[in-house]
Structure 1
Amino acid sequence: MNIPVEFNEIRPYTPEELPQVFDELIADPAFRAVVESVVPDVPFEALAAKMHQCKTNLDFQKAFFYGLLWDLVKKYAKGLTFDCSALSDQTKSYTFISNHRDIILDSAFLSILLIDLDMNTVEIAIGDNLLIYPWIKKLVRVNKSFIVQRGLSMRQKLEASALMSRYMHFAITEKHENLWIAQRQGRAKDSNDRTQDSVLKMMAMAGTGNAIERLKELNIVPLSISYEYDPCDFLKAKELQQKRDDANFQKSPNDDLINMQTGLYGYKGRIHFQTSACLNNELDEIQERNLPKTEVFTAISELIDKHIHQNYRLYAGNYVACDLLMGDDRFAHEYTEEEKAEFETYLEGQIAKIDLPHKDVPFLRNKILTMYANPLINYLEAAKG
């Protein structure tokens, strides 16, 4: 396939480029050290040979990531389920736009779930702030990621957004790939999942026709991701206190690494992914309303949010958290005393992990409870219609 040169710095590697990239990864001592720690019982040379047997990016995903990720589910979760019955045509290419809980696993789990349905895996939008080492950047591009450039000036940001939009439209219409993008930049630290208009504006920069027709070209599918437990909840609460106490606080690259590792190897309980239908029919309805240009993207964001909120899988912890936060027992019929005690023990354990010099326990407790209560609060709001 003839891929425009303008995408060279941001797109995933092509199958033709893989042998060279594999050689570079294999020769990188940092990459080798990580691989040997993750797969200690297989000689590195055997893994290197297996890499070179992969002729496509999907081959690589199936050979390496598929098994590793299902192993993670077995060790650190209590099941991973997927409901995409709302998709009437599973042969089309879609842009899955989802709430964002885990830096790595949200899109990674989606891909292995799609493999199990014989659907194509997703090309993943990933921020370059996470590509801390050269081997990480190479590996994610082997793993079908395209790069979101961050930390740019206003003019550069505009150019980068337009380039990314052109790439997304090219990937859907010419490459016939599925895509995954988070509904906002970064994870929602309080789990109050809201689509940023700016994400939709970027997506509508390319394509043909008006803004709605351009978005329809991407076949947008809202995706709800529900983790029973978020292993990074205590890190998110810690960051919220750090930002409260220091207006200039910024996470370091090492903080991102700790978040990635904690997300991978922390206990997640039950995990559920659920899609709504493709939005194109509802986008036509928004078009018929003839809204002012300034209101179109807000209306679409609210529509995506409603679908994501309606499709949450709620667990006992969400109901317990809401009652503890509100100081009542409104949802007591949704959980047992044992489940309540279990969640409270979990909560205290997570707070105990937070190492801050001026640790504000009531604040931290409130923030973690809010993370678990917000999906329920938003679900109930969306259910009103």
Structure 2
Amino acid sequence: MEKFDAIRPFYDSEINEGILKVIDHPMMKALMCFCFPGVEDAIWKAQLKKTYSVRDFQCNFIYYGVKQVLGKSSDGLTTSGFEKLEKNTAYLYISNHRDIVLDTTLLNASLFEHGLNMTSSAIGDNLVKKPFLKILAKLNRNFLVQRGLTPREMLLSSKLLAEYMAQMLLHENRSVWIAQREGRTKDGNDETNSGVLKMIGMGSDEPNLMDYFKKIKVVPVSISYEYDPTDALKMPQLIAEANNETYIKEKNEDFMTLLSGIIGQKKRIHIHIGDVLDTEIDEIKSNFDTSNKQIQALAQVIDNSILSNYKLWTTNYIAYDIVNNSTTYSHLYTGNEKLLFERRLEMRIDHEHEVAKQGFLDMYANPVVNKLKYGNAE
């Protein structure tokens, strides 16, 4: 369908041509050497040249890159909730968003390991300005969310995006991943932006919007990292906001953040798949009479799932105790773990900058604060 050409990933019929355009690019060599250390260029090039589908590219190349990332920069990935999903079924995964590339890549690797449909994933077009990255994104079944538009352009772009998501979910049996808000959370507060849900709803052909959300099978996803490899990189924006300044990114900031997320130390990672929102949507439909109120209620239900199922790590408890000058959770971490966390803070943040120090601590502490709203945070 030509109307989606500006934002869609490659069709399988275009995959090989896309690969051949970048096979000799130095960044492709770097990627393949990372995925397959010690393997001669001629071998991975020969395999790439025989690749004719997105699934083959993801399973035979990207998946091995994920295993390398986990092996070199984490203490492992654990998952829960995947057993609730049905094979050969399309879902709309709405998740909190911590890392530009890893959130969706790790989710897809987990879906692959569980024999489930992998996703087509939203990515801001600001992240793929470089031609190589744009081709790589399209090879990896990313679709583009257009940024920096005028209000009128934004409306048209949002409608196109919504229609494309509906096309994949309802007509191509393709799962879709989208973040609960635009951009990654910088302060550890994971909150669903109702604007994202309104955009998704623009693809609806149902008289009642909740009937559409029920039809596309919304699944909240909670992703947590023990250490955020880009924690310090998020501080300049928080400082600017604290000073009521407009934050302007450095020229290659997005690319450096992307790279840091992949190679930076994450320690333990957990992905939890929430329940498919079904009875919850029925209740929203019967309890709220306007689409605006229904959207707000749906955002709250998604938040409830993401926050209550978020996996807390020692780093979260340590930061909470430091911020509150307490020992509330000291039984959940060792003295050595606290020293390591304080050392990380010391090395990554200028201690003369109180806003940055507080922002760093809040990033790790806020998930505990949010979980406390749902009862015990342990």
TM-score range, shorter-chain basis?
Answer: over 0.9
Instruction: Deviation per CA, 1:38-81: give whole Å up to 9, x if none.
Output: 46643434322211222210110111110111111011101101
Match of 2:372 in 1: 380
Report if the CA contact (8 A) 2:82-2:114 is conserved.
no
Q: 1:281 to 1:91 in 2, by over 3 A?
A: farther
In the alignment, residue 92 of structure 2 is paired with which amino acid? T
Structure 2, unmatched stretches of 5+, are none
Structure 1, unmatched stretches of 5+, are 353-358
Q: Does 1:120 align with 2:112?
A: no
Match of 2:269 in 1: 271
Query: Structure 2 length as normaliser, TM-score?
Result: 0.94
Structure 1 residue 248: Cα displacement: 3.0
Instruction: Deviation per CA, 1:118-141: give whole Å up to 9, x if none.
Output: 112111100000002111111111
Looking at structure 2, the residues matched to 36 and 117 of structure 1 have their Cα atoms a distance apart, in angstroms, of 25
Instruction: Deviation per CA, 1:74-127: give whole Å up to 9, x if none.
Output: 111011011125625344211111000000100000011111111121111000
In the alignment, residue 140 of structure 2 is paired with which amino acid? N
Looking at structure 1, the residues matched to 109 and 82 of structure 2 have their Cα atoms a distance apart, in angstroms, of 17
Q: 1:255 to 1:333 in 2, by over 3 A?
A: same
Looking at structure 2, the residues matched to 382 and 290 of structure 1 have their Cα atoms a distance apart, in angstroms, of 23
Instruction: Deviation per CA, 1:322-370: give whole Å up to 9, x if none.
Output: 1111122222232232322222222222226xxxxxx743222111110
Instruction: Deviation per CA, 1:184-228: give whole Å up to 9, x if none.
Output: 100110010000001000110012212111222221100000100
Match of 1:366 in 2: 358
Task: Decide which moves more: 85-94 or 32-41.
Answer: 32-41
Match of 1:99 in 2: 96
Q: 1:143 to 1:163 in 2, by over 3 A?
A: same
Query: Structure 1 length as normaliser, TM-score?
Result: 0.92
Q: Aligned to 2:13, what secondary structure does the other structure show?
A: helix
Looking at structure 1, the residues matched to 135 and 164 of structure 2 have their Cα atoms a distance apart, in angstroms, of 18
Structure 1 residue 272: Cα displacement: 0.3
Report if the CA contact (8 A) 1:99-1:308 is conserved.
yes
Q: Report how many residues are paired.
A: 375
Looking at structure 2, the residues matched to 321 and 191 of structure 1 have their Cα atoms a distance apart, in angstroms, of 11
Q: Does 1:58 align with 2:55?
A: yes
Task: Decide which moves more: 329-338 or 298-307.
Answer: 329-338
Looking at structure 2, the residues matched to 69 and 19 of structure 1 have their Cα atoms a distance apart, in angstroms, of 22
Q: Which runs of 4+ in 1 moved over 6 A?
A: none
Match of 2:138 in 1: 141
Structure 1 residue 36: Cα displacement: 6.5
Structure 2 counterpart of 1:299, from 297, 300, 310: 297
Match of 1:343 in 2: 341
Match of 1:355 in 2: none
Report if the CA contact (8 A) 1:86-1:277 is conserved.
no
Match of 2:306 in 1: 308
Structure 1 residue 253: Cα displacement: 4.1
Q: 1:33 to 1:350 in 2, by over 3 A?
A: same
Structure 1 counterpart of 2:220, from 219, 222, 238: 222
Structure 2 counterpart of 1:289, from 287, 290, 297: 287
Structure 2 counterpart of 1:257, from 245, 255, 269: 255
Report if the CA contact (8 A) 1:129-1:253 is conserved.
no
Task: Decide which moves more: 7-16 or 330-339.
Answer: 330-339
Q: 1:31 to 1:265 in 2, by over 3 A?
A: closer
Q: 1:138 to 1:290 in 2, by over 3 A?
A: same
Report if the CA contact (8 A) 2:86-2:116 is conserved.
no
Match of 1:156 in 2: 153
Matches within 5 A, 1:34-53: 34-35=30-31, 38=34, 41-53=38-50
Match of 2:171 in 1: 174
Q: 1:252 to 1:93 in 2, by over 3 A?
A: same
Structure 1 residue 278: Cα displacement: 0.5
Instruction: Deviation per CA, 1:264-292: give whole Å up to 9, x if none.
Output: 11110110000111112211110010333
Instruction: Deviation per CA, 1:139-165: give whole Å up to 9, x if none.
Output: 111101111111111111111111111
Looking at structure 1, the residues matched to 253 and 33 of structure 2 have their Cα atoms a distance apart, in angstroms, of 20
Task: Decide which moves more: 7-16 or 238-247.
Answer: 238-247
What is the root-mean-square deviation in Å for CA atoms of aligned residues? 2.0
Report if the CA contact (8 A) 2:192-2:300 is conserved.
yes
Report if the CA contact (8 A) 1:32-1:44 is conserved.
no
Report if the CA contact (8 A) 1:126-1:148 is conserved.
yes
